[in-house]
C-alpha cells in the first residue's frame, strides 16, 4: 500500500463518514489509505479485541470517533458512558502507543461548565454532566497512555451521514409539517460541519502537529434559536419558532449554557481557523438538499 494508513473507529458514525471521505483515495487523496472499523469489528471496551485489530492492521494513525454521544443516555447509564468514552479511549490509546501510531481522540465542548462565555485550550474543564465527565476522563487516559496524541474538542456537529437525525433536518421536517418548533435561545455554541472538521483534522495530521489539545469548530457562534432561524432562512422555509429556556431542555442532564471554543492552538501552529458556521451551513444545505 502507498502512503500512510489511517484507522477510523466508529466508522458508521456522523464524523467518521466525512473523515472517510477526506482520507479516501476516491476523493483524490493519494497520501493515505484508510481502514474503517465499526462496533461489529471490535468493541473499544474490549482491550484484547482492540489490540488484536490494531496489531493486525498496524495503522500509522488512529482516529477514534467511537463514543457514546447521547448526553441523556450517558446520564442514565454512567457505567456504560465511562466504559466507552474513557476505558475505550484508553484501550485505543494504548494499542496506538504499542505500535507507535498517532492517536487522535475526538473530545467535546461539554467538558466545560458554561460559566464563561468562551473557552480556550488553557481553560480548566469542569463538566456538569456524565457525558462531559466521561469524555474528560477519556482525554486524561489518552494522555496517560503515553504515545503521540491529538485531543480534538469540537461542538454541535451536523453532517450528511444519517442526515435525518441531525438538528438541521429536525427543524426542516417540523417546518414541512407546519409544526411550531421549540428551540433554546439561551444556550450558545458553534454548529460545526463534519466535512470542515474532517478536513482540518487531516491538515493537522499532514502538518505533523505536536501532541496536544486542539479546539476545532467552525467560527462564530449562535444559540439553538439562531441556528434554527438560519436553517430556515437558507432553505427558504417558514416555521413558527418558539423560544424556550435551557432548563426546560435539561430534564435528565444538565448542559453548559456557553460552550464556545476558542480555536487558539491551531492558529499557533499556522493553521487557519475554519470558516464561519453560517457559510458552512449554506454549503451543507446545498449538499444535503440538492439546491
Positions that interact with ligand NAP (CB under 6 A): 10, 12-16, 38-39, 43-45, 65-69, 84, 88, 106, 108, 135, 154-157
Least distance (Å) between residue 49 CB and ligand NAP = 9
CB 81 → ligand NAP: shortest distance, Å?
Answer: 10
Q: Which residue is nearest to ligand NAP (CB)?
A: 13
Instruction: For the CB of residue 150, give the shortest distance to ligand NAP in the complex, in Å.
Output: 13
Return d(Cα 56, Cα 242) in angstroms, integer. 53
Q: Which is nearer to ligand NAP, 69 or 181 (CB)?
A: 69
Radius of gyration in angstroms for the set of CA atoms belonging to the chain, rounded to a whole number: 19
Residue 149 cell numbers, joined: 496524541
183 Rama sector, left if φ>0, alpha if ψ -120 to 50, beta otherwise? beta
Nearer to ligand NAP, 12 or 169 (CB): 12
**Helix locations, 84-176, DSSP H:** 88-99, 130-145, 167-176
CB 69, min distance to ligand NAP, A: 4
**Grid cell listed for 215:** 479546539
* Pair 177, 158: CB distance under 8 Å: no
- Which residue number, 15 or 280, has a Cβ lying nearer to ligand NAP? 15
Check the CA dihedral 46-48-50-52 and report its sign.
Answer: negative
Cβ nearer to ligand NAP, comparing 62 with 240 = 62
Judge contact between 192 and 280, C-beta under 8 A.
Answer: yes
In the numeric block, which cell numbers belong to residue 265? 492552538
Separation of alpha carbons 67 and 85, rounded Å: 5
Which is closer to ligand NAP, CB of 5 or CB of 38? 38
Question: Is residue 111 within 8 Å of 125, Cβ to Cβ?
Answer: yes
The distance of closest approach from Cβ of residue 60 to ligand NAP in the complex, given in angstroms and rounded to an integer, is 21
Residue closer to ligand NAP by CB (options 3, 250) is 250
Minimum Å gap between C-beta 12 and ligand NAP is 4
Amino acid at each position: 500500500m502507498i502512503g500512510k494508513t489511517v484507522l477510523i473507529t466508529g466508522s458508521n458514525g456522523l464524523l467518521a463518514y466525512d473523515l472517510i471521505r477526506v482520507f479516501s483515495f476516491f476523493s483524490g487523496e493519494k497520501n493515505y489509505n484508510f481502514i474503517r472499523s465499526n462496533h461489529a469489528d471490535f468493541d473499544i471496551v474490549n482491550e484484547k479485541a482492540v489490540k488484536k485489530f490494531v496489531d493486525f492492521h498496524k495503522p500509522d494513525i488512529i482516529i477514534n470517533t467511537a463514543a457514546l454521544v447521547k448526553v441523556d443516555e450517558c446520564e442514565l447509564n454512567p457505567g456504560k458512558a465511562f466504559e466507552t468514552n474513557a476505558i475505550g479511549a484508553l484501550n485505543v490509546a494504548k494499542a496506538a502507543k504499542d505500535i507507535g501510531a498517532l492517536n487522535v481522540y475526538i473530545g467535546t465542548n461539554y467538558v466545560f461548565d458554561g460559566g464563561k462565555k468562551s473557552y480556550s485550550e488553557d481553560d480548566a474543564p469542569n463538566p456538569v454532566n456524565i457525558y462531559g465527565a466521561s469524555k474528560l476522563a477519556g482525554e486524561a487516559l489518552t494522555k496517560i497512555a503515553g504515545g503521540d496524541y491529538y485531543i480534538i474538542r469540537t461542538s454541535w456537529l451536523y453532517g450528511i451521514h444519517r442526515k435525518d437525525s441531525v438538528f438541521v433536518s429536525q427543524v426542516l421536517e417540523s417546518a414541512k409539517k407546519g409544526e411550531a418548533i421549540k428551540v433554546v435561545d439561551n444556550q450558545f455554541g458553534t454548529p460545526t460541519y463534519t466535512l470542515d472538521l474532517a478536513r482540518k483534522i487531516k491538515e493537522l495530521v499532514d502538518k505533523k502537529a505536536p501532541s496536544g489539545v486542539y479546539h476545532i469548530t467552525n467560527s462564530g457562534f449562535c444559540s439553538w434559536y439562531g441556528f434554527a432561524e438560519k436553517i430556515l432562512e437558507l432553505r427558504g422555509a417558514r416555521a413558527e419558532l418558539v423560544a424556550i429556556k435551557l432548563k426546560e431542555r435539561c430534564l435528565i442532564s444538565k448542559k453548559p449554557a456557553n460552550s464556545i471554543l476558542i480555536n487558539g492552538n491551531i492558529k499557533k501552529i499556522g493553521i487557519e481557523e475554519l470558516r464561519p458556521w453560517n457559510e458552512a451551513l449554506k454549503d451543507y444545505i446545498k449538499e444535503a438538499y440538492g439546491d
